[in-house]
Amino acid sequence: MSSYGWLLDPKRCIECGACEAACKQWNDVPVGVNVRWRRVLRQETGRFPDVRVTALSMACCHCENALCQRVCPARAIWRRDDGIVLVDSDRCIGCGQCYAFCPVGAPQRNASTRKTTKCTMCFDRIEQGLQPACATACPTGALQWGEWKDIEGKGSDRLPGFAYPRQMRPRIRFVTEAWR
């Protein structure tokens, strides 16, 4: 069975927010409850006068060893055979353990339902042979999606100042200067 992941080239990201908008629209993510499954973050590194600002389009990385799944006392977070990590809202008790342990805050609490919600990697689109809405909407190709076997060897698993714990094995790679 296929397994999927993300490839992000921060140098190509123009912070337009198309990925965020496409995600919200396709997945009907509610507004006004402080839930953003995909969001463009600004990472600042260095010291004046050598400061760098990097844009990162981030969402759930559907980690092979997801901490959110491991710490959920209700076992509401599960991993499909294709590696997509999902939340069963019927089982979620809204305790917040999952978002407390995720390094990028991918699981989020919906204030109106008091349940956890997060990126689904648009599994419904994938099942129709389409790419996730966020990757489709990216005008510069900064955010790409595909089979993990094709992405895994590209780029780097780390960026300066931004790193997942290696034991989580996130399904994201970053295009870096060293890789180009």
pLDDT in tens, the chain (180 residues): 789 999 999 999 999 999 999 999 999 998 888 899 999 988 888 889 998 888 889 999 999 999 999 999 999 999 999 999 999 999 999 999 999 999 888 999 998 899 999 999 999 999 999 999 999 999 999 999 999 999 999 988 887 766 667 788 999 999 976 444
pLDDT score, position 87: 97
Q: What is the mean pLDDT of the chain?
A: 91
Please report the beta strands in the chain, taking only residues with DSSP state E, as ranges in sequence order: 4-8, 39-47, 50-58, 77-79, 85-87, 108-110, 115-117, 143-147, 172-174
Fold of the domain spanning 4-174: Alpha-Beta Plaits (3.30.70)
Prediction pTM value: 0.89
User: How many helices (H) does the chain have, and how many strands (E)?
Assistant: 6, 9
pLDDT score, position 129: 96
Tens of pLDDT along 43-74?
Answer: 888 889 998 888 889 999 999 999 999 999 99
pLDDT score, position 177: 64
pLDDT score, position 161: 66
pLDDT score, position 163: 64
pLDDT score, position 166: 75
Rounded to the nearest 5°, which phi and psi values hold at 108?
-135, 150
* Structural domain spans, the chain: 4-174
pLDDT score, position 180: 40
